[in-house]
Structure 1
Amino acid sequence: LDLEALVETVRRAVRPLGVAHRVLLTRVDPRSLGEALEAQTALMEAGVPAFHAFVRAYKAHERAALDGKPITRWRGPNAREAEADYRRVAEELLRELARTPERREA
């Protein structure tokens, strides 16, 4: 993860478009959650909005895809944790949308 490149991309390519945006950290090592928190803090300090939630890297994602099932229907190791990560992202996004009705009208 190259945060400097990400921040620069947001500044040069995303902000000029004037679109709402937020960075989602994915493939986060479940054994190194501190690094994900540091990355989120660094992004916020750089003025780049980031989700508080993140998606950890579990084999469950790959195995569910190989079985042709969404993670919500796959039953195996870490399936519930993988599903919970996506649910947290969705809940955060829905809370934000509920707070900003003007975005829904645009």
Structure 2
Amino acid sequence: MIQNYPNPWDFHNTDKTLVSADNNHKVVFYDLNEIAMGAPIGGQCFLENSDKKKIKIHDWCGGPPAWETTGQLLAIPIWTRKLLKGTVQQIGVLDTRIMELKIFK
């Protein structure tokens, strides 16, 4: 089946879309669970480099992530619990050159 639209309920560590375009990095998820009944899934997320070294991106990421065309920037959904708003989704952008994660509203 050809998948043209990202599915936040169905992504796996074996998906080719988790590997950067330059093949230097791969996104790996652990302990994926539904955020709430019928909601998308999320879990711990790591960036694995070509040496198999893992760097934690965040404790609660969704998916699937989207790579920039050169494989240096990664956009990934991040789930956060806010006191007055409940669970909200934000977008995180990871720059793999400097290993910096910026989380946006």
TM-score (norm 1): 0.25
Q: Which has the larger radius of gyration?
A: 1
Higher helix proportion (structure 1 or 2): 1
Higher strand proportion (structure 1 or 2): 2
TM-score (norm 2): 0.26
Higher normalized contact order (CA 8 Å, seq sep 6+, divided by chain length) = 1
